[in-house]
Chains A and B, each alone.
Chain A
Amino acid sequence: MVFDESERAAAESADWIARARRGDRRAFAHLVGAHQSRVRLQLRRLTRGDAALADDLAQETFVQAWLHLADFRGDARLATWLHRIALTCFLQHARRPRLPLEWRGDEAAEAPDTGHDPRPVEGQGRDIERALQALTEIQRLAVVHCYHLDLSHAEAAQVLGLPLGTLKSHLDRARTRLRVLLQAWNPESAT
Chain B
Amino acid sequence: MNESRLTDDAFDDLLRRSAPGPLPDEGFSVRTMAVVERAMGAHAVQRRAAPPAPLAIARALAAEQRRHEAQARLWRWAVAGVVAGYLLMVAAVLLSPEGSLAIAIPAPGQWFPLCVLLAAGAIWVAVREWRT
A90 in the interface (beta carbon within 8 A): no
Q: How far is the CB of B12 from chain A (nearest CB, A)?
A: 7
B132 an interface residue at 8 Å Cβ cutoff?
no
Contact: A147 with B36, CB < 8 Å?
Answer: no
Decide: A147 and B20 in contact? CB cutoff 8 A: no
Q: How far, in Å, is B71 (CB) from chain A's closest CB?
A: 43
User: Count of A-B contacts with CB under 8 A?
Assistant: 102
Q: How large is the interface on B (under 10, 10 to 19, 20 to 34, 35 or more residues)?
A: 20 to 34
Task: Say whether A179 contacts B11, CB under 8 Å.
Answer: yes
Give which listed residue, A33, A116, A179, contacts B29 with CB less than 8 A.
A33
Residues of B within 8 A of A55 (CB): 28
The residue that A41 contacts in the complex, of B1, B9, B20, B37, with Cβ under 8 A, is B20
Query: Is B3's CB within 8 Å of the partner chain A?
Result: yes
* Minimal Cβ-Cβ distance residue in B for A191: B10
> Which of under 10, 10 to 19, 20 to 34, or 35 or more describes the interface residues of A?
35 or more
Question: 9 tightest A-B contacts by CB?
Answer: A117-B20, A148-B19, A128-B18, A37-B22, A187-B10, A37-B23, A147-B15, A33-B29, A153-B3
List 9 additional contacts besides A37-B23, A128-B18, A175-B15; criterion CB under 8 Å: A36-B23, A59-B32, A62-B35, A66-B40, A67-B39, A116-B20, A128-B14, A148-B16, A187-B14
Chain A interfacial positions (CB closer than 8 Å to B): 25, 28-29, 32-33, 36-38, 40-41, 55, 58-59, 62-63, 66-67, 116-117, 119, 124-125, 128-129, 143, 146-154, 175, 178-179, 182, 185-188
